[in-house]
Structure 1
Amino acid sequence: MGKKPNLFNTRATAATLLVKVINQKRSLTAVLPQAVAPLSDQDSAFVQTLCYTTLRWFPKLSYLIQLLLTRPLRTQDKDIYCLLLLGLCQLIDLATPVHAALSETVSAAQALKKSWAKGLINGVLRNYLRNEDSLKKQITYHQEAYTAHPKWLLQTIQQYWPNHWQQIITANNTHPPLSLRVNSLEGTKEHYLRELESYCIEAQILPYTHQGITLTKPYSVAALPGFHQGKVSVQDGAGQQAAILLDVQSNQRILDACAAPGGKTCHILELNPTANLVALDIDQIRLSRIQENLTRLQLKANLILGDATDPHTWWDGILFDRILLDAPCTSSGVIRRHPDIKVLRQKEDIHRLAVLQERILNALWSLLAPGGLLLYCTCSIFPPENDEQILKFLISHSDAKISSFTVPWGIPQKIGQQLLTGTENFDGFYYARLEKCK
């Protein structure tokens, strides 16, 4: 593109962000903060809504554009393609008034210095409105568009979860709840619920969690009572299981590998203030996010920049009593929170990430003390990243055995427990616990 858009045109800003995600394959969470920084809170929220919703329904919206365009756009006009996505998203999924959706999206072309596209955008969006019923009918015959999932992802979910795939697809396309973890060092979830009530913020207890609550309606995190003072953190109910299952005892030495952004790190320390915790991550920017969370919650950990597959470059030689490995994965269980996964992931990523997980598991196992526990978890719903991975590990490590646990949530696997996206309104997560033989 070369030319910087008018940052105060929200749709132009959203379009440039979508180009970075769809065409440059960058994650939305990585590119969003800087783009919305100059905007007002209201405009920032609107840009986020536009981007997240467009990516959530991308397979459907892109199919409609195929039907509506008489000829493909030029390679250098990816931003105009994204404006068309945004325009359809406003009309179909955001219930934006027709006049606003058309006029403001057309105006965004001007902000992108592409006035020639104003007529094209106006024509395509009006063509959709004229033929809305027939186009929606065509969607029902196109599986990718109808389910809003790329073909490989839909088929993989159907393959592994033939009796649950429709539930998973529906959950993936649903706006996720805002779930919180109350800091147990600051008070109980019941006390915080009463505090929310005094602010007229509706919430309820999150099942199967020690300190979890869910807000009935979306709310600005920064405006939550006591957030900046460390009373509460954002964390899905599935993620809140890790610190419990790790079963940390007083004064134990803990490794939280692949720790960023630090939600589980902080939860472990809230439950076990005496723990000697090392938080490891390979990315300096992500490591700084852990420190921000620790500072806000007034907690302390030893942060290390390092590669989990190569411990000899950062490990001090002292064994750990507990290791939490929240392994890199396809993130197939958190698509509702990160809909850009539909654009960024490909089927071959399952094998590629499973290979990386195996390398990390093998490397970290040697750092665990005899009698110690390693908790393996992913935010994936695909068995090659989960119980198949752990089964392979057990076969090749005679000093490892399953440390079983009983929980009231999820689906028991050959090894470990699987939560499917949307169950109990949780994200999709897998947990398995291993003990090192003495």
Structure 2
Amino acid sequence: MKLPARVDLRADTAWVIFQVLEQGKSSREVLALAQARHSKQDSAWLQEMAMGVFRHLPQLQLWLRELLNQPLKGSKKILEHLILLGFYQQAYSRVSDHAAVSATVNAAELLGGKGLKGLINAVLRNFQRKQLAQQLSEDPIIRSGLPKWLYKRIASAYPEQLDSILAGMNQPAPIWLRVNQQQCTKQAYCAALAAANIRFSESQSHPDAVILIDRAPITSLPGYDEGWFSVQDGAAQLAAPLLEAQAGERVLDCCAAPGGKTAHILERTPGLNHLIALDSEASRLKRMTENLTRLQLSAELVCADAAAPENWWDGNLFDRILLDAPCSATGVIRRHPDIRWLRKAADIETLETLQYRIFTQLWRTLKPGGTLVYATCSILPNENTRQVSRFLSEHSDASLMPIYQEETPERPGRQILPGEQQMDGFYYARLLKS
């Protein structure tokens, strides 16, 4: 379905919401198309509104079912998403009620709903009249903003931390920067931010990181064109230190695009013998090339299936492997709210199978005495601790290199939960090949 012929902020926002929820498109893909039609200010509004709808979708749908007698079907389905946007503006945003109703109703005509403008107006007016914005559901699943299957899995895995996890998932993510120590010291970069009147904080646990307090366009930050920094969450910045690559070593970064961890490895260890960055998507590797070029770094980029080394591996064993495994991305939902609706319960088993196949295939490319770091941006145990425990039990030449003292083969690795020390949800385990 094409964007509305005439440019309209609310019509375009509803189109983005529809594409994600009904067509299964990534918000990153469709947002870029819609935002290209608008000013920077309007683009930011469009993104804020769409992401807000994804975060509060169960509550918005509950109100929709109460106020809309019959669901809209076929080509008119997109108008339900326009109504959801109207609800969100009234309940969760700073948009005035008058603008939320009038401008949303006017957008209906651009989405093929000229004859339904009266219905949409009535629904949004009833929302105001009944003061539904003050009547939030007491159902914990609806309040969580998650699909039922995901809520239940998280509640089962983390009963004591459930409230803090949900709070972390529904908070906007801070912007972490990683200073490229090959181009600029952290001290110098902090001075550059201060000179530009951009407020920030320093992380005590991340030697290369700063966290922005003032949000600003990334490309306008000091040193962007010179490659002084990358945008990378604090949890992802732990990968390179855990891998501990050394000068002269041969390293594989698997499922590497868009290249943040690859770049960090290169920045920390400029004397590497060879680094191969592997990914199965050519478009993502193109973006990775652009990122590495800006940072003035280089690696061998290979487009191939990690689970089939016979198609890309030259037989030379690696000293260290970083496996950033394909996963549910449930740890980064705060950053990408559409994930909660794009991911389905059935996807998890498929991902588990793929993760383990890649894990076992890469293990044979690792030197005896070599290190493999297994990582995901998931918080689901099936993708994390259970995968590593199974691997340890089935591979006698694999042993755990603990990240912290309390680790055991039955409960291996470090699980970071969303919001912990301002980080995304992430998992790491480190294995030694005997």
* Shorter-chain TM-score above 0.5: yes
1:306 maps to which residue?
A: 304
Q: Is the 8 A contact 2:332 2:378 kept in 1?
A: yes
Q: What is aligned with 2:34?
A: 35
On the 8 A contact 1:207/1:424 being kept in 2, the answer is no
Per-residue deviation, 1:103? 1.8
SS at match of 2:236: coil
Are 2:426 and 1:426 aligned? Answer: no
Which secondary structure state, in structure 1, belongs to the residue aligned with residue 316 of structure 2? coil
* SS of alignment partner, residue 333 of structure 1: helix
- Taking structure 1 as reference, are residues 413 and 288 closer, same or farther at Cα in structure 2, changes over 3 Å only? farther
CA shift, 1:3, in A, is 6.0
Distance 1:391 1:412, change over 3 A: closer
Q: Does 1:186 align with 2:186?
A: no
Question: Is 1:108 aligned to residue 110 of structure 2?
Answer: no
Contact 1:6 1:12 in 2 (8 A): no
Q: Say if 2:98 is the partner of 1:85.
A: no
Q: Does 1:381 align with 2:386?
A: no
- TM alignment of 1:148-163, pairs within 5 A: 148-163=145-160
Q: Conserved in 1, the CA contact under 8 Å of 2:86 and 2:101? A: yes
Residue 139 of structure 2 is matched in structure 1 by 142
Structure 2 distance, partners of 1:190, 1:154, is 42
SS across alignment from 1:226: coil
The secondary structure found in structure 2 opposite 1:431 is strand
Instruction: Tell me if structure 1 keeps the 8 A contact 2:59–2:137.
Output: no
In the superposition, relative to structure 1, how do residues 143 and 411 fare at CA in structure 2: closer, same or farther (>3 Å)? Answer: farther
Is 1:266 the equivalent of 2:266? Answer: no
C-alpha change, 1:67 and 1:413, in structure 2 (3 Å) is: farther
Cα deviation, 1:349-388, whole Å, max 9, x if unaligned, reads 2222111100000111111111111000111111111111
CA distance in 2, matches of 1:38, 1:91: 25
Is it true that 1:281 corresponds to 2:282 in the alignment? no
Give the AA of the match of 2:120: I
Shift of 1:407: 8.8
Q: Alpha-carbon deviations, 1:377-418, whole Å to 9, x = none?
A: 11111111111100101111111111123499x999811111
1:253-277 alpha-carbon deviations (Å, 9 max, x no partner): 1111001111111111111122221
1:17–1:401 distance in 2 versus 1, CA, 3 Å: same
Question: Relative to 1, partners in 2 of residues 1:377 and 1:72: Cα closer, same or farther, differing over 3 Å?
Answer: same
For the residue of structure 2 that corresponds to 1:168, the secondary structure is: helix
With 82-91 and 162-171 compared, the bigger mean Cα shift is at 82-91
Q: For residue 23 of structure 1, what is the aligned residue in structure 2?
A: 22
Cα distance in 1 between the residues matched to 2:344 and 2:112: 33
Give the alignment's Cα RMSD to 1 decimal. Answer: 1.9
Tell me the secondary structure at the aligned position of residue 90 of structure 1: helix
Classify the secondary structure of the residue corresponding to 1:126. helix
Contact kept in structure 2, 1:391 and 1:415, CA below 8 Å: yes
Alignment of 1:221-260 (within 5 A): 221-260=218-257
CA contact (8 A) 2:317 2:366 kept: yes
Residue 329, structure 1, aligned to residue 327, structure 2: yes
Q: Give 1:347 deviation, angstroms.
A: 2.0
What residue is the counterpart of 1:130 in the other structure? 129
CA distance in 1, matches of 2:260, 2:240: 10
CA distance in 1, matches of 2:400, 2:198: 43
Shift of 1:295: 0.9
Instruction: Quote the Cα distance in structure 2 between the aligned partners of 1:56 and 1:187.
Output: 37
Letter paired with 2:216: Y
TM-score scaled by structure 2?
A: 0.95
Tell me the amino acid that sits aligned with residue 94 of structure 2.
A
Q: Which amino acid aligns with 2:433?
A: K
> Counterpart of 1:95?
94
Distance in 1, Cα, partners of 2:276 & 2:125: 57
Higher alpha-carbon deviation: 339-348 or 111-120: 111-120
SS of 2:194's partner is helix
- Equivalent of 2:368 in 367, 370, 374: 370
One of 392, 407, 412 as aligned partner of 1:394: 392
1:141 deviates by 2.6
Opposite residue 296 of structure 2, the aligned amino acid is Q
- d(CA) in 2 for partners of 1:351, 1:325: 19
> Comparing 353-362 with 271-280, which one deviates more in the overlay?
271-280
Displacement of 1:121 after TM fit?
A: 2.0
Name the aligned partner's letter for residue 89 of structure 1. Y
How far the C-alpha of 1:346 sits from its partner, in A, is 1.9
How many residues of Structure 1 are paired with residues of Structure 2 in the alignment?
433
Comparing 93-102 with 372-381, greater Cα deviation is found at 93-102
